[in-house]
Homo-oligomer: A and B are copies of this chain.
């Protein structure tokens, strides 16, 4: 069998099966970040690998945005555990860039690092014929870590911000459309190139004990909600008209673009579940952290699967595969 047949999650399963259990590791492979307990502290670890030609094209993204995005992906993982990001290492393979371009990359990284008060503490560098950026981020989990496995039947399902902007921005980059205003185009592409990690919101949800299961939407709502349901042993119903869309998305999206909101990746929004009695508290977290939080559905018994109720009231399986690195595009 080849990796193409096994797929990305098959490979991760293979690695996981071969990995022995270790005391102190509260949560190893398979969630947004690893969670280990030392004497007095809970530590979170995550890494995000970006490879030129696989995750980004230098024809499209500026070095500064690339720096921003590469750290944001890891910050979002720590946010999705309800943790406080703290220290990161940077592994960089670079082609023979100008030093200005290399410096712009570093500036982009440090701008978002400063915003979240995380410190670059090390890494590795080498020359290569294509760019590789791997960010390792360590953080703390002062309120414990919110895993993917805590959702219960009856929980509300929430998502921060809006979904699909990043995927639609990518679609506009790869195939320009005539009827799109420059403003909408720029907004959507910026959401693809300059995403925001919801660190404060994630921490506040953990601090108040509201999020029972949480992850970030990096592979698309359909796939990522599937991860929560599998880990928690529940099903889910999502109401399509409740999935939050940006005004730009609503203006630009054609009938074929709904898939961007349901299965498109790299939104870096938080997807979480909370008890239905906690709705007012969740709304307060949204106001307090200045991030919109939309209730999009609820957890149901596992036997009902993961479904989408479309605007006509019809249920369809929400089983879009998202993106698998080894099998190819969704």
A15 CB within 8 Å of chain B: yes
A241 CB within 8 Å of chain B: no
Task: Say whether A89 contacts B136, CB under 8 Å.
Answer: yes
Task: Say whether A47 contacts B6, CB under 8 Å.
Answer: no
Distance in Å from the Cβ of A23 to the closest Cβ of chain B? 9
Task: Say whether A45 contacts B87, CB under 8 Å.
Answer: yes
Partner of A128, one of B33, B54, B95, B98: B54
A1 CB within 8 Å of chain B: yes
A152 CB within 8 Å of chain B: no
Distance in Å from the Cβ of A122 to the closest Cβ of chain B? 4
Task: Say whether A51 contacts B93, CB under 8 Å.
Answer: yes
Task: Say whether B106 contacts A18, CB under 8 Å.
Answer: yes
Task: Say whether A125 contacts B93, CB under 8 Å.
Answer: no
A107 CB within 8 Å of chain B: yes
Distance in Å from the Cβ of A278 to the closest Cβ of chain B? 29
Within 8 A of B (CB), among A57-92: 86-87, 89-92
Partner of A11, one of B43, B46, B95, B125: B125
* Chain B residues whose CB sits within 8 angstroms of the CB of A121 once the complex forms: 25, 27-29, 34, 36, 45
Partner of A132, one of B53, B93, B117, B119: B93
Task: Say whether A125 contacts B20, CB under 8 Å.
Answer: no
Counting chain B CB atoms within 10 Å of each CB, which of A12, A40, A138 scores highest?
A138
A28–B119 Cα distance when bound, in Å, is 9
A126 CB within 8 Å of chain B: yes
Distance in Å from the Cβ of A132 to the closest Cβ of chain B? 6
Task: Say whether A127 contacts B325, CB under 8 Å.
Answer: yes
A94 CB within 8 Å of chain B: yes
Task: Say whether A126 contacts B45, CB under 8 Å.
Answer: no
A55 CB within 8 Å of chain B: yes
Task: Say whether A54 contacts B127, CB under 8 Å.
Answer: yes
Identity of the chain B residue whose Cβ is nearest the Cβ of A93 in the assembled complex:
B51
A107–B54 Cα distance when bound, in Å, is 26
Partner of A49, one of B4, B15, B91, B110: B91
Distance in Å from the Cβ of A169 to the closest Cβ of chain B? 20
Partner of A102, one of B14, B49, B123, B128: B14
A19 CB within 8 Å of chain B: yes
Distance in Å from the Cβ of A302 to the closest Cβ of chain B? 26
A residues neighboring B (CB under 8 Å):
1-6, 8, 10-12, 14-15, 18-20, 22, 24-25, 27-29, 31, 33-34, 36, 38-41, 43, 45-49, 51, 53-55, 86-87, 89-99, 102-103, 106-107, 110, 114, 117, 119-129, 132, 134, 136, 138, 140, 325-326
